[in-house]
Structure 1
């Protein structure tokens, strides 16, 4: 049976010739509908009459959300670009189109790519190479030469509801890693109440992560664009501020967030992401069609991260919330293995040896070991919030700052022997 294909390559001079060539019986492909725009293509995808879509990079209003909806509808996507147009090929890949071919490829090659896309076969043929690997980094000042030579790491800072100190930990880790001369990007991806900008005394109105997500959805985000959108707080630290209002969460679509993280890996050796707490997926129960997912950004960050830190409070209520949150994470994302960081450790809420009791409770009820204990230091954190500055600036001798510095060194691969800041050879 011939593979049923939708096409959306209108406006190209070679469209009619291509459709005629694909419809030949010896290619095993039948064009069942020639769509005029993205809306027509998405409508056709819901009919169940096709298995693949062939679209051009110039298709008007094509974005990452449209490609994600096609994939969710079970439609495999293959892209076509003008011969030699690596910029268009790069844009299609950012939108989530894995297989991209030049429009002058033989019809049998395009048909084979369509069949491979449906069957999940290897990407091959006359695939246009990914040009980003050869692009220089533009828009970065000369002193910021600490950009990673390879693929940077992403660390997600997550935790249960109840203000266990996720933002405090995320900001502290990013700042301490930068002070260890590791190129670092701090991203505020909390869709419920991101406050990284306020904590660091930055303007709330900066475009930040919302602008990066918009460019990612349009396929125009690259390293230089991401660098321009992020605040240069320090020669080694950039900050991508969060949403100015919580009701703007639909701007952080999961596919766009994944692209932002991929570009972040090219910009910085370490990316620290401050996440929201909620993991619910109620949208799948409330809608019978594709719907925006408020928690999709958080789930995407947790899936894409190289390491997930679960920040827990140090009192009985906070520990119970942590145990429940870890169980929920195991159900939603079973492949994610978080490590626990206990914040706000102090005497009083837990009788006896607090470290021993908390470690035993989390091991018994959640099956998790504690990576680090961060002591409570209310005076230092209050001074930091009042000044809009980091702990290292207002309380360099704080025990909390020392704990964050140690954890940052572990996560970034840097060491500080003899009190001197150095980078570990890689």
Structure 2
């Protein structure tokens, strides 16, 4: 028998209950009066399927994620004339929608199939709404590259912004997403309006089932040709607005906005053990953890000084325990002053001996170039396109996306930070 919960409006409840009671293979466990009762009953593990109506107060993507986490699959109930309600259900990720006039056999077959065939995740939402005004997507899948690094300001955001700008400069339509819930800085680096809605507005729309591809594109304006930016939280104390379910949805839709998605994340990855038992409680690091899980490529950034290298080793070990792709390790701010006359060789030896890291990329110290870019409120490729740092990141971009050209900037034995003439 398939156990069922309901949380629907009184208008259609009688017809649904009659169909459930007459349907073969179904048993109605509880008729919930509101979302809170539905969530608590679902968490008790007494049902496999829940039927909800689109006007259930408080129904959002996070509530569906909560139910899915307890093994409860969700179906919707919407009248044929309620097109807005059905659209909202589908955008929230509810793929099975019943009608009030469905007979017992139809209801039974639909809910039994849902209980038996659905996965533990909320199904992907259908993209409804007006036609996508963006250029047609390429046939190849859109990769998501997450830029992460341990604490201590190793230059995560600078690398993420420069990487995204280099991809855009190479003709790859790129979306840069700032998911740093501790200290978002992409908007400041690019001179964008600090009060822009950005990721907070996208997450809010996603929670309500109102976010689609054109809507996400509108929230991510172009900072330079080919580069859209979804700015981060204007204040760090607004982190509860960015929940895991919304991040999943934003990154899923982001693949339809651009040809490559670059995500800047915060350093902390700890999952609060006390809150982890309450799947409805917001967790500050959920955005970074969710991005790592959704990533196709991971760039781990550490600085070149002794303290930062130790943090980098521990950080690589930490992400290895998480559901994330194998990291591309990048050592930033490389200079002779912190690692000796041959810094790259010394750092490579240390990382190989103590962390088993053989393939490491190096980014030179370019403080003056970075200062000039921040002062201008523009990306480094716009201000200093031939900066050694800019060329090294271009080499990284080519390694992550074969549509970006190789410029030969990766140093092989050359002194870090030394300017070279490179023919592009």
- TM (norm. structure 2) is 0.87
2:186 to 178, 184, 196: 196
What does residue 28 of structure 2 align with? 31
Q: Deviations over 1:217-255 (max 9, x none)?
A: 111101111111112212311111100111100000000
Query: What pairs up with 1:41-120 in 2 under 5 angstroms?
Result: 41-83=38-80, 88-89=85-86, 91-101=88-98, 105-120=102-117
Closer, same or farther in 2 for the Cα pair 1:158/1:152, shift >3 Å?
A: same
Aligned pair 1:384/2:373, yes or no?
yes
Aligned pair 1:242/2:232, yes or no?
yes
**Secondary structure of 1:45 counterpart:** helix
Gaps of 5+ in 2: 409-424
Aligned pair 1:361/2:350, yes or no?
yes
Deviation at residue 105 of structure 1 after TM alignment: 4.9
Deviation at residue 277 of structure 1 after TM alignment: 0.7
What does residue 391 of structure 2 align with? 402
- TM (norm. structure 1) is 0.86
What does residue 6 of structure 2 align with? 7
What does residue 165 of structure 1 align with? 155
What does residue 423 of structure 1 align with? none
Aligned pair 1:370/2:369, yes or no?
no
Deviation at residue 180 of structure 1 after TM alignment: 1.0
What does residue 21 of structure 1 align with? 19
Deviation at residue 153 of structure 1 after TM alignment: 1.4
Which shows bigger deviation, 386-395 or 194-203? 386-395
Q: Structure 1: how far apart are the matches of 2:236 and 2:37?
A: 32
Deviation at residue 177 of structure 1 after TM alignment: 0.8
Deviation at residue 119 of structure 1 after TM alignment: 4.0
Q: Structure 1: how far apart are the matches of 2:87 and 2:44?
A: 30
The answer (yes or no) to whether the contact 1:6–1:41 under 8 Å persists in 2 is yes
Closer, same or farther in 2 for the Cα pair 1:94/1:320, shift >3 Å?
A: farther
Closer, same or farther in 2 for the Cα pair 1:113/1:330, shift >3 Å?
A: farther
The answer (yes or no) to whether the contact 1:160–1:277 under 8 Å persists in 2 is yes
Q: Structure 2: how far apart are the matches of 1:234 and 1:102?
A: 47
Q: Structure 2: how far apart are the matches of 1:286 and 1:266?
A: 31
Deviation at residue 283 of structure 1 after TM alignment: 4.3
Which shows bigger deviation, 376-385 or 35-44? 35-44
Deviation at residue 83 of structure 1 after TM alignment: 4.0
Aligned pair 1:132/2:127, yes or no?
yes
Q: Structure 1: how far apart are the matches of 2:89 and 2:273?
A: 27
**Secondary structure of 2:57 counterpart:** coil
Query: What pairs up with 1:174-213 in 2 under 5 angstroms?
Result: 174-213=164-203
Query: What pairs up with 1:265-284 in 2 under 5 angstroms?
Result: 265-284=255-274
CA RMSD in angstroms, aligned pairs only? 2.8
Aligned pair 1:325/2:315, yes or no?
yes
**Secondary structure of 1:192 counterpart:** coil
Deviation at residue 87 of structure 1 after TM alignment: 6.0
Gaps of 5+ in 1: 420-426
Deviation at residue 11 of structure 1 after TM alignment: 4.5
2:37 to 37, 40, 43: 40
Which shows bigger deviation, 237-246 or 97-106? 97-106
Q: Structure 2: how far apart are the matches of 1:225 and 1:307?
A: 26
Deviation at residue 336 of structure 1 after TM alignment: 3.2
The answer (yes or no) to whether the contact 1:7–1:53 under 8 Å persists in 2 is yes
